[in-house]
Each structure stands twice: as structure tokens, then as C-alpha cells.
Structure 1
């Protein structure tokens, strides 16, 4: 919150973050009790609202939770958009749902043991905006056409005839136009299966566990592409292993990432190293960050980039 306050008002184009969820069991990365969670998160949201540009966005990834001792769902993640819109003045530009097909069955009690609930594999993602007209361009996140659509584009007349559908929608000749891809839906199916890369190799080399709640790079990539332009400022206020910062860097955006735990910050630096970096260099970077020698590292990165 202190770092967020130091940013100039109206200077941030996108805050993309996944805060610790309001789970019943305490996690090692810290999470507030469900009863206090909405108040806790609202403190950050008030500051975010001031820091955003007029056409800026606040994208919030939240997982669901169950009530204590009961196979019924908590409503905390649905109360948050009501609170942020009613009290702070955010607009809910759109609701998204991230389906992670690789997620393990949970909660164990209701799914694995008693077998009375299916596994929870969908997160809610709220896209908030400061005004009703935030910057957005879905042409930057078009999905590849299906094989059937590709065939249709070659010879539209062979696949369909212009007509009105039972729903009342008119399917005209423009349906056969190649727009470069299909419009994505608000259900994002992205498996969270990353097991390689410099980040995890560095963690293993040091005997450190990777951050236990990383989201896949394709998730922030979707929103950064859709809601910002190169050179815009992206901020993650609960950075963890800093997936958001890495993606923003790769896409040519300016970024800032805040993380309260120094050990997570130290290992997150591995994301910005070349794949052929040696274990000795990984250890040196990790030690330098823990020792607060970040300026030396910054100089090294600048020199490497120049080469």
C-alpha cells in the first residue's frame, strides 16, 4: 500500500493482479480471513482507482472458496465487485472466468472423500474500469480460427446460406469475411501446467520452492494485450513470482511489481535471465537481491542488454 501510494495519480494504465485468496486454511504466501477479506482488499482498490489513468483498467483474479465446515460456497468473490462499484466508483467492464483444466480436485473433503461436489477449476476475473469507456481492443487477442471456419472462408457459399437464425440473429454474407481470427469469449481456458523455464530451474537449483500460487503467463498476456499499448504502464500489487512483470517486459510495456516477501522477489528475478544462464549465476543473482545489492544487478542487466 505504501508503494502504491507513491505512484503519481492517473499514471497507471493497467493494474493486473491476483491477490492472496480468502481461503479457510492459511497459506504460506499469506491470506486474510474471509470475514475481513473484502475490507482488506477494498483498501488497495481505493488507491488503485486514484492511480489509474482515466481510460485505465483494474483486472482482479480471484479463486472461489467454501464456507467453513459446509459444502456451500462463499460469496466473498461476488461481493467484491458490488463493493468496489458501489463504494469506490469502479465500473464492471466485463466478468471473465478462467478455467484451468489441469487443476487438481479440491476441496478434498467434499470432492475426494465424500464425493458430493465436483472439482473447483474456475476462477472469477473481474475487469474493472475507471470510466464506462476504458481503453480496449479485442483485435489484439483474436483466437485462431477452427479448421471448419478456415474451410468456410475458402468457399463460404459451400458451407452456409445467408439467413435469419431462430434466435433472430441475421447471418449475412459478411459472416464469410476473414477478420484475422475469432472473437474470444469471456471463458478463458488456460492450463496452469508450466514445469520448465529458468524460474523453476533456478528455484530447484537453490532448493527453494517456486511460488505456490503462480498463474500462467497467457492469463496476464491476454489482458495486457487487450487493454494496453506498448509503452503503457502495468502494475502488479501482489506480484508473487512476477509473471505479470515478465509478460509486460516481453510485450514492451513499462511495469512495476510489488511483493512483500523478499524470498519471492529474489527468485522472481530468474524470469528475466537467459535460458542458458549457469547455476552459479542464478545463485549470485539470488544472493545479491537478498543482500539488497539491486543496483549492481541493474547495471549488469543494462550492460547485457546493450551487448
Structure 2
């Protein structure tokens, strides 16, 4: 099967990901993918333009992907899935469906996966939802985060948190400058050594909380333990290109900062990244920028056409495949 388009580092296929990954595309990828980075359709009760299933149908579909994905992974590869919450239809009750999806996906007998870590992607600027229960009846809080699940076939997949450090806080910068701090025993009974925090590692180890925030000069993060991600969805080059072409962009794009973080944490230059629900190809564009090979699959041609805008300077006829 020929790609819908390709660049020097990657290729996007148009079609149903399940069929393609269990067919010719999957055969080429088998055992070679270092990272599957994706945000599949969420299990929402309201139908969206990008397509989504609900209830048990959604769970069965989602869980069936586990052995398909596992077969594509390199022995030390990882799967990272971003997924939102779900609510019971016409009830102010949060659905357990996403949690059941995680459990059955991770424990699928034919996949051999384990959950390495869960993270939270928090967006304080998210519109109040579910609207009926939050802004009308005023009986619930705004649903403002998505889950990020990192799974692998091994207890020790390729990973190095030194490649994805967050900037030091101002207080840590001052500590490194003066080379002293309050060492000794804490109320928690942990003992802080006198020299353990004096080495400048270029940044601090990321926490598993991501905060999507507009970035303004001098602005302090609301949550000091968050890994801060710029929310530039309406002003980035892709959005500007969509406005120029009179195109309505994909409504559920994954944050570029989230993709960048896991790309640097879990892969190295030259590695292969797959997004089986590519949408407007955020994963592919980040992979291209960071020197990784990539493969994307998108079922809707209108979104695949949008994706071209991310690679206007990179799309070229090339004899070199992203799949080595």
C-alpha cells in the first residue's frame, strides 16, 4: 500500500488502522516500533466529527488493539496513550469505562503488557464540562484533565528521564548558586544528605503531572510540581496555515508538548514512532522535528489533507522509507 504522503523521515497512510496494522503496513512495522504515541477517539456519549464509539462497544474495540500494538513494538519499545474521562449518559456520574479499558488493555492475555506509569495532563483553560452538571445545575467540577498511560512489553523499556528534564525553579537556581541547603532528617523520617542536591544536572526530574498553560513572560506555573506545556493551539504554524487555507482544524489535537516530552523520554534520534490515529499528524510533525522516523495512519481524508500543512517544507518524493 502506498502512503498518502511521505517526507524524508516519515509517511502517512490513509485508511482504517486496524486493517492496515494487521495487513501490509503492520507486516513492515512488526517488531520495529520504538514508540506508539497516540490519542485514540475518546469514549464520549456525544458523537464527534472524528468518530467515536461508546460503552461496551468502545471497550471491546479499545482492548482488541492491545495484541496488535504489542506485536509491532521493539523489545524495549513503549506505548503511550492519552485518553479522556467519560460520563454516564444523562447522569451526573463519571463512567468507569476508561479505567476498565486500561485494566483489560494492560492485562490482555495475548499482549504481555504492563503499566509503567500513569500521568495526568491538566488544562486549567479547558471549558467547563460536562456543561449540564457544571454550568447549569452546578453540581460537579470542571473535567479538566486527561489520562496518559505508558505501557510496555518489558519492565525495563528504553527510557532516560535526563533527556526530558524540566527547568529548575528559581529557588533551586539560588540553591545551586550558594551551594548550601537545610540537610538532615525530615518529619517523614527521610534523611536529606548534605551534598545530594548540589550538582547541576541541567534541570529537575519531571513529575507525572503536565500543565497546559498559555506561556507569558514572567508568568509562574500555577502548580509548582507540574511539567509545564505551552498551550499555543490557536497560534502555532499549523493553525495559521489552516486559517490561510480556510480549513477548520482537527478539533481534538494532542498537545505538541506532550508528544515532545515522551518522544525525548522514550526514544533516541533515528528511532521509529507510530501514531495509528494520526488526525492532523501532531505526532509525526514532532517526530520529524526531533529527528525520529515516523508512521501515521488516519481514516478521514480531510484530516490527512490537513496534515500536509504541517510538512509543507518537508514533503518530497523520496525513495527512502521511514520503516528501516
TM-score, normalised via structure 2 length: 0.82
Q: For this pair of structures, how many residues does the alignment match?
A: 279
The answer for the alignment partner of 1:162 in structure 2 is: 183
Alpha-carbon distance in 1 for matches of 2:271, 2:62: 25
1:103 correspondence with 2:142: no
Q: Deviations over 1:194-233 (max 9, x none)?
A: 2123322332233221000012210100001000010000
Alpha-carbon distance in 2 for matches of 1:48, 1:84: 10
* Residue among 133, 152, 170 paired with 2:156: 133
Alpha-carbon distance in 2 for matches of 1:210, 1:55: 35
In the TM superposition, what is the alpha-carbon distance from 1:167 to its structure 2 partner? Answer: 1.1
Contact 1:220 1:244 in 2 (8 A): yes
1:17 correspondence with 2:17: no
**Pair 1:113–1:129, CA change in 2 (3 A):** same
* Residue among 276, 281, 287 paired with 1:237: 276
Q: Deviations over 1:16-67 (max 9, x none)?
A: 0000100010001100012211111122222100010111000000000111
1:4 correspondence with 2:4: no
Structure 1's consecutive aligned runs of 4 or more residues displaced over 4 angstroms after TM superposition are: none
Q: Which runs of 5+ in 2 are unaligned?
A: 1-17, 214-230
Aligned-partner SS, 1:190:
strand
The answer for the alignment partner of 2:219 in structure 1 is: none
1:153 correspondence with 2:164: no
1:210 correspondence with 2:249: yes
Alpha-carbon distance in 2 for matches of 1:45, 1:206: 38
1:180 correspondence with 2:202: yes
Deviates more, 1:82-91 or 1:52-61: 82-91
Alpha-carbon distance in 2 for matches of 1:184, 1:206: 38
Q: Which runs of 5+ in 1 are unaligned?
A: 275-284, 286-296, 303-307
* Residue among 35, 39, 52 paired with 2:60: 39
Alpha-carbon distance in 2 for matches of 1:197, 1:163: 47
1:30 correspondence with 2:51: yes
TM-align CA RMSD: 1.8
1:298 correspondence with 2:310: no
The answer for the alignment partner of 2:3 in structure 1 is: none
1:56 correspondence with 2:77: yes
The answer for the alignment partner of 1:84 in structure 2 is: 105
Contact 1:102 1:193 in 2 (8 A): no
TM-score, normalised via structure 1 length: 0.87
Contact 1:246 1:272 in 2 (8 A): yes
The answer for the alignment partner of 1:221 in structure 2 is: 260
Alpha-carbon distance in 1 for matches of 2:158, 2:189: 31
Higher relative contact order (CA 8 A, sep 6+): 2
Alpha-carbon distance in 2 for matches of 1:123, 1:62: 6
The answer for the alignment partner of 1:195 in structure 2 is: 234
Aligned-partner SS, 1:267:
helix
Aligned-partner SS, 1:89:
coil
Contact 1:230 1:253 in 2 (8 A): yes
Alpha-carbon distance in 2 for matches of 1:34, 1:19: 15
Equivalent residues in 2 for 1:248-259 (5 A)?
Answer: 248-259=287-298
